[in-house]
Amino acid sequence: MKLRKVTAASAAVLALTVGATACGGSSDSGSGDKKIKVGIKFDQPGLGLKEPSGSFSGFDVDVATYVAKELGYKPSEIQWVETKSADRENALSRGDVKFIAATYSITDERKQKVDFAGPYLLAHQDLLLKKDSTISKGTDLNGKKLCSVTGSTSAQNVHDTIAPKAQLKEYSGYSECIAALQSGAVDAVTTDDSILAGFAAQDKYQGQFKLAGLKLSNENYGIGVKKGDTATLDKINEALEKMVSDDSWRKAVDKNFGPAGYKNEPAPTIGQIVK
């Protein structure tokens, strides 16, 4: 009788253990907590923007979402991480993110610290003007007020090489520059044409501005990955090639930049940098 009680107790414990293990296994396999951390900008309309609702929009977001899908992740499994320009290399080296799509121009200096997939967009430094502006070339900026963001080299480049008599105005962000252009406080805003197009495409600005189309520099946007992570690099390049071939790339460009009349370059060839 005593033996039967021990056996019954043991059986009960065993049943509880098996049940707990089964539940644990089921929870682990179906927890849905698989995530990929992707670095983007949070403050660039048309490229990487965190909306008031908490959602994200922009060309970089669309490209990153497509790439993540090809790496095996659903949109709901992407964790967006804000990566400011000054912290992009550190974010990759620390492993804070798997990859970064954030108007990240490929340069020889940056390639010493990170690897780049792409490029996936060829942008150019340009000018944003009011619709009725008579400025048509760089030298027309002489005597005009030119706005860019504090710490940016864009306006200084124009001043040093094209319009030495341009009056440089610096603001803390591009939103302030665009507002100054709208009010007439400045005559032009300069940075990458893709960034300018993104701001100009906002509903509150549509129809008010135009891009000069001067192509003052070549900016090859790449997707940054941790230095030496060739497996991820190769997969992302394959994803970008597929995005171009199935027309998803063009649709993303039209959706995010079209309202500003952005005359984008054709999709760049993967691995080919335009100097």
Structure tokens that stand for 167 in this block: 């009056």
Residues 6 or more apart in contact with residue 141 via CB below 8 angstroms: 127, 135, 158, 162, 163, 166, 187, 188
Nearest to 135 by CA among 201, 192, 169, 181: 181
- 147: pLDDT strictly greater than 50: yes
How far is 259 from 248, CA to CA, in rounded Å? Answer: 18
Span of 65-74, 104-113, 144-153 with lowest mean pLDDT: 144-153
- 18: pLDDT strictly greater than 50: no
| Model pLDDT for residues 38-71, shown as the tens digit of each residue | 999 999 999 999 999 999 999 999 999 999 999 9
Q: Which residues pair with 50 in a beta bridge?
A: 56
- 266: pLDDT strictly greater than 50: yes
Residues 173, 43 contacting (CB under 8 angstroms): yes
Nearest to 219 by CA among 154, 169, 171: 154
Question: Between these two residues, 267 and 257, which has the higher pLDDT value?
Answer: 267
pLDDT band at residue 1 under the 50/70/90 scheme: very low
Instruction: Report the pLDDT averaged over residues 106-117.
Output: 95
Q: Tell me the H-state helices in the chain.
A: 2-29, 59-70, 88-94, 108-111, 154-161, 174-183, 193-200, 230-245, 248-257
What SS3 state is found at 6? helix
- Cβ atoms within 10 A of the Cβ of 44, count? 24
Instruction: Report the pLDDT averaged over residues 82-96.
Output: 94
- Model pLDDT, residue 178: 94
How far is 200 from 212, CA to CA, in rounded Å? Answer: 13
- 24: pLDDT strictly greater than 90: no
What SS3 state is found at 181? helix
* pLDDT over 90, % of the chain: 72
| Virtual torsion, Cα 183, 189, 193, 196, nearest 10 deg | -30
Residues 138, 215 contacting (CB under 8 angstroms): no
Nearest to 226 by CA among 111, 109, 58, 118: 111
Nearest to 239 by CA among 32, 60, 102, 64: 64
| Model pLDDT for residues 220-263, shown as the tens digit of each residue | 999 999 999 999 999 999 999 999 999 999 999 999 987 777 88
pLDDT band at residue 32 under the 50/70/90 scheme: low
Q: How far is CA 28 from CA 21, 72, 205, in A?
A: 10, 18, 48
Instruction: Report the pLDDT averaged over residues 88-117.
Output: 96
- Model pLDDT, residue 5: 44
Average pLDDT of the residues of the chain: 88
Question: Between these two residues, 231 and 173, which has the higher pLDDT value?
Answer: 231
- Model pLDDT, residue 141: 97
What SS3 state is found at 203? coil
- Model pLDDT, residue 53: 97
- Model pLDDT, residue 206: 84
- DSSP one-letter string for 64-109: HHHHHHHTT--GGGEEEEE--GGGHHHHHHHTS-SEE-SS-B--HH
DSSP structural state of residue 259? G
- Model pLDDT, residue 223: 98
- Model pLDDT, residue 16: 40
Residues 122, 238 contacting (CB under 8 angstroms): no
How far is 50 from 102, CA to CA, in rounded Å? Answer: 13
